[in-house]
Structure 1
């Protein structure tokens, strides 16, 4: 009788043990899966384990967004001006190591920092992406100025999706408030068209799209028809080859930014501006005739920073430059 009982009980015990082992393995697999975040990005798909703590940012907008999310990068590329980092971010980047220039990051220095996440861009880092990926999981955006894409991607990668959504909601709220306030100022004339012009040492450009152009569109400004046609062709930046192209600049409001007045080529930039703005074509622009030209908006805020914090600064700048009252 005892032998028969043993024969009946033994299979049941083995079944319970196997079941427990199976459940344990399943739980471990589930825990492992839950601890891994998969990011689809411009250069492919990357798996990130846990929440990254040692982050390296390889373009200005990513550095801005990291700080906005409460993360201080262990390494970041040097800023275009005000090196090593833009003044508005410098207080949060005191311990951040310089890892080279945005177009050519220093891979050796990045490796020394032992990062657990690298944030790069396809437009700047496509050729070294494989090398970066061998150092640490690397995620990329297509370009460097789509700050909303950067915020969403980094929020997910850093385990800070709620914080990222909160930032973007704050931006949307500020946009809606601006639209209301602009409507109060301009009345039936709103929305007005806007043009962003850049005088350089060797050329003149219109930023029809890009960072400032996208934000102006969000805010409700219209893009001049001729510029919109260029954007539809994929040209965010329009390089003007002669003064005969100046009519393409015209809009209800023109904003001009130039390089740092302390830069080595500042005199050449000033010369370019003087030559172009003294021309008949410039003087015949409607915006010029009406005095609707804002000369000298901040180059960092309007172009170089490309981040979340700078987007809010740009909107504040518009309130001031256009004398729009907050309701």
Structure 2
């Protein structure tokens, strides 16, 4: 039955109204994030997410989002071991230093979560694939990991979830800080070329500080650097703290550490004689960041204090 002119006008008005309503809803769900490369608009609840930074993968998983792809962790060809169960069979699209652009394109992402200080040339390529979010965070600051987690959670439309995870980390660290008097601690990553003393300002050391330790890098780390140059065995006394957290990344590092432990210089350290050397996962303690990494590091700290 054909529509009358008045009925047609009524239907047209309704369709226009619905269209305007849909547009308003769509605009309401969009939000603009301030990034290292200016403002970027993101639609709410992106479903196809690619992370090109370990902190972004960690945050996504922490707030209940499983990305399609990620970059491999340092010293491995997959994601960090502490994330493997949650990440599942995630695609790997390169390393932090070398991203496979074709592999990223193949994921057809709605959004790309990238690392701070992503080179502009790479940003320009990636932003042609999908909105690419690069946090404008300052490195080696106590709250950098929280700022980045909030940034990535905002991109995913999961702000409330990330605030819950951060609050839990803060509360747990405060509780740990009350369980022992302040003791000095150093974090070392053992490599084949020797011991690298990690900066007091890196992510895991800020958690040690929040848990009540007085972190020392032995004044061997230059300002703005994540770690020292390799220390000789003779200079190990520079990091002879009350506690020594000792990290390795792979089998080569494990072998180098095993060799060092047999040396008289290592055996003479007071921390060794006290039995307060704590082996830790180098991928977690010296490369990771994010709420899940924080929880895993606090697990290690709690175990060490038992």
> TM-score range, shorter-chain basis?
0.7 to 0.9
Between the aligned partners of 1:286 and 1:226, the Cα distance in structure 2 is 15
* TM-score (ref. length: structure 2): 0.81
Distance 1:265 1:247 in 2: 20
Farther off after superposition, 44-53 or 171-180: 44-53
Q: Number of aligned pairs?
A: 285
Task: Confirm whether residue 196 of structure 1 aligns to residue 182 of structure 2.
Answer: no
Residue matched to 2:277 = 293
Q: Which has the higher helix share?
A: 1
Q: Normalising to structure 1: TM-score of the pair? A: 0.76
- Write the deviation string for residues 208-235 of structure 1: whole angstroms up to 9, x where unpaired: 23121121122221123744x847x223
Instruction: Tell me: CA distance 1:66–1:315, structure 2 relative to 1, closer, same or farther (3 Å).
Output: same
CA pair 148-162 structure 1, distance change in 2 beyond 3 A: same
Q: Which has the larger radius of gyration?
A: 1
Matches within 5 A, 1:209-288: 209-224=201-216, 226-227=218-219, 230=221, 233-260=223-250, 263=251, 266-271=254-259, 273-274=260-261, 277-279=263-265, 282=266, 285-288=269-272
Instruction: Give the corresponding residue for 1:10.
Output: none
Q: List aligned pairs for 1:59-208, cutoff 5 A.
A: 59-80=53-74, 83-123=77-117, 125-141=119-135, 142=137, 146-180=144-178, 182-183=179-180, 190-208=181-199
Look up the match of 1:302.
285
Q: Is the 8 A contact 1:61 1:144 kept in 2?
A: no
What's the secondary structure of 2:64's corresponding residue?
A: coil
Q: Which moved more, 1:116-125 or 1:83-92?
A: 83-92
Structure 1: distance between partners of 2:138 and 2:52: 12
Helix, strand or coil: the match of 1:248? helix
Decide whether aligned partners of structure 1 residues 44 and 249 sit closer, same or farther in structure 2, where only a CA change above 3 A counts: farther
Kindly indicate whether the alpha-carbon contact (under 8 Å) linking 1:193 and 1:222 is maintained by their aligned counterparts in 2.
Answer: yes
Worse-matched range after superposition: 128-137 or 239-248: 239-248
